[in-house]
Amino acid sequence: MKDKNFQEDPQGGWTFIETLIVIGIILILTSSVGFTAVKYLDKAKAVTARSQIETFSLGMDAYFFDCGSYPPDIHGLDALWKKPDSGVPADSWNGPYINKPVPRDPWDNEYEYIIPGYNDMPYSIRSFGRDGKEGRTGNDADICSWE
């Protein structure tokens, strides 16, 4: 039974206030998803840097087996991709030792290559993390071949 005071909306749509409430709810839900995605994006970049450093380390070992030493730091990691102009016997370089040119780290910084390396290692490769500075913690932490 219909109430006498109840009038149906002839167009049957939502009111402006109802529309604003729905838009507000959608904005709240999408912003919470966005903050979660950013957290995982930072983690994915750190994993990518670790993976790239491991790839460089494998290439360094192959370079060492062929040439008898690690690339001098003046040639850096680029010696894994293209033959250095000097310092390597002509027949010993059998690269490339990585499958594409040396990329920048996920934060668009150069990787650091040092020979001899830290902790009595023969070489060290490091990404300085999101902030591009030595040290730090969290998302700004360095990602190193010796850890």
pLDDT tens per residue across span 82-140: 887 776 665 788 878 888 898 888 888 889 898 888 888 888 998 888 777 777 766 67
* Domain limits for position 79: 50-144
Which structure tokens are listed for 122?
């023969």
How many domains would you assign to the chain?
1
> What are the two backbone dihedrals, phi and then psi, of residue 129, each rounded to the nearest 5 degrees?
80, -170
Examine residue 39 and state whether it is found in any structural domain, yes or no. no
Give 75's pLDDT tier (boundaries 50, 70, 90).
confident
Q: What is the pLDDT of residue 11?
A: 64
Examine residue 8 and state whether it is found in any structural domain, yes or no. no
pTM given for the model: 0.69
Examine residue 10 and state whether it is found in any structural domain, yes or no. no
Examine residue 4 and state whether it is found in any structural domain, yes or no. no
For residue 15, pLDDT over 60 is answered with yes
Q: What is the pLDDT of residue 20?
A: 86
Examine residue 5 and state whether it is found in any structural domain, yes or no. no
Distance CA 41, CA 33 (A): 12
Examine residue 31 and state whether it is found in any structural domain, yes or no. no
Give 7's pLDDT tier (boundaries 50, 70, 90).
low
CATH assignment at residue 112: 3.30.700.10
Share of the chain above pLDDT 90, in %: 4
Examine residue 137 and state whether it is found in any structural domain, yes or no. yes
Q: What is the pLDDT of residue 25?
A: 87
Whether the upstream peptide bond of residue 122 has omega within 30° of 0, thus cis, is: no
Examine residue 68 and state whether it is found in any structural domain, yes or no. yes
CA dihedral 136, 137, 142, 144 (to 10 degrees): 130
